Structure 1
Amino acid sequence: MTVGERLKKIRENLGLSQSNMAILAKCHKKSWEGYEAGNSLPGGEVLSNLAQSGIDINWVLTGQINKTENTINIYDVEFSAGCGSIISQENIISTLVLPEDFFDIYGIPKKFAAGVKVRGDSMQPRLYDKDIAVLDMSVRQFVNDGMYAFEYDGSCFIKKLQLAGDKLKAISLNAEYAPWDIEQEELLHIVGQVKAAICKA
């Protein structure tokens, strides 16, 4: 993957147009188009602006992840907030550097923090399509009512899980989507509890 391809990948992961990405990088849209096309490389000022937005510049330039204790991995798994999405691969596609107090505010152990992309609208207004859901992956089983990322019968979901009597229900925040029961708990594999969200724009 080239520098231009990595820049394009970052932009797509953020859910931004080339115009909006140019605003983030504080450069002209034509310049950004040239970076993605591989016609030129971003200069120091543009790289600095990207770094201030939490983008791993070492990965942009070399393809190597510059992991710090405040960096979370963003995984190439789209968790559906509407219908099921089969897991295809779980590799790291980018990283994000978060402020020091982020982990304390949201109660996420640093070494268990990870980001996954949201797909669909059923968890609005909490999560929107292409948002990054930040998971606490130390939570691997249902502990109390809350929002979880989980795999069920081969599909990935982000839903509120709620215990109703002896039944575990998967609930959407968007009233247009009906709740459904987890009928076979042996098929439920919790990936983590959703503790925070990073909006796409």
Structure 2
Amino acid sequence: MKIGDKIRHIRKANKMTLNELALRVDSDVGNLSRLERGKQGYSSDLIEKIAGALSVPVSELFSSNEPDDTVDSYSVSSIIKKGRKDVYRIDVLDVSASAGDGSPSKDVVEVIRSIEYVPDQARVIFGNRPESSVKLINVRGDSMEGTIEPGDLIFVDVAVSNFDGDGIYVFNFNGDMFVKRLQKVKSELIVISDNPRYREWSISEEEMPMLHVSGRVMLSQSQQFRRHG
């Protein structure tokens, strides 16, 4: 089943009009109508908004199974119960990470337990990394504001367990967890907050044993919601 047909079937199963869907995803009714009829392409941002409005994972919109017309609605919980194996599943990283002052509980809020993608889409986003090496964290602190906004999801390559060139890392230093930019200058690592209100600090060569890298941040995804009515 094509993605436009799938969107239309799930929308109707949820008893949602095209106008209501357009309002929820902040899009033009005509564009959505053409998308459902297969007359127009789509962006990843629009597909994510549509999946959110229909209360299904993005992967469900790309699945080939025919929807059951006797079912009143689709839900995340019902999809999980099916135990589908044709997805690329990313789970929450099993550490507390701070993008603020280092407190392991203050600056992280667990909003999402996992995200599922169809394999082809995951390959475009994450390359050939196996799903076991990609984890996610929901960041609430503001020290990386401008790059990672409060509430964003960050996707972390946990196969990286040491400093591997300048970039943004999730790491533990002397018992505190951080999400910060690391930059090597001579024998030191400079710890940088992209929000200029936070001062940078350094990890000396002698302090390196206190640094434990949990992974390197690959990308972030906004979790901002717009309420329409």
Superposed pair shares fold, TM > 0.5: yes
**Unaligned 5+ runs, structure 2:** 1-23, 26-50, 61-74, 225-229
Q: Which has the higher strand share?
A: 1
1:59 positional shift = 7.3
1:79·1:119 contact (CA, 8 Å) conserved in 2? no
Distance 2:150 2:83 in 1: 26
Q: Quote the residue 2:69 is aligned against.
A: none
Correspondence for 2:187 among 143, 166, 175? 166
1:156 positional shift = 1.1
Q: Which amino acid aligns with 1:190?
A: V
SS in 1 for 2:121: helix
How many residues are aligned here?
156
Query: Any idea what the Cα deviations from partners look like across 1:41-96, whole Å, max 9, x if unmatched?
Result: xxxxx99921145698247876x9766541101246552222102269xx996111
Distance 1:108 1:147 in 2: 20
Correspondence for 1:109 among 129, 133, 138? 129
SS in 2 for 1:79: coil
Q: Quote the residue 1:70 is aligned against.
A: 88
Q: Quote the residue 1:79 is aligned against.
A: 97
Q: Quote the residue 1:13 is aligned against.
A: none
2:148 equivalent to 1:148 = no
Instruction: Give 1:168-183 correspondences, 5 Å limit.
Output: 168-183=189-204
Query: Any idea what the Cα deviations from partners look like across 1:99-151, whole Å, max 9, x if unmatched?
Result: 53344344461321110121211112110112111001111100100111111
Residues 83 and 53 from structure 1, CA distance in 2 versus in 1: closer, same or farther, beyond 3 angstroms? same
Q: Quote the residue 2:218 is aligned against.
A: 195
Distance 1:66 1:58 in 2: 12
Residues 76 and 179 from structure 1, CA distance in 2 versus in 1: closer, same or farther, beyond 3 angstroms? same
Q: Quote the residue 2:45 is aligned against.
A: none
Higher relative contact order (CA 8 A, sep 6+): 1
Q: Quote the residue 2:15 is aligned against.
A: none
Which of 125-134 and 53-62 deviates more? Answer: 53-62
Distance 1:75 1:124 in 2: 21
Query: Any idea what the Cα deviations from partners look like across 1:147-174, whole Å, max 9, x if unmatched?
Result: 1111111111111111011101111111
2:214 equivalent to 1:185 = no
Task: Give the root-mean-square deviation of aligned CA atoms.
Answer: 3.5
1:125·1:173 contact (CA, 8 Å) conserved in 2? yes
Distance 1:102 1:136 in 2: 14
1:58·1:65 contact (CA, 8 Å) conserved in 2? no
1:72·1:115 contact (CA, 8 Å) conserved in 2? yes
Q: Quote the residue 1:42 is aligned against.
A: none
Q: Which amino acid aligns with 1:110?
A: P
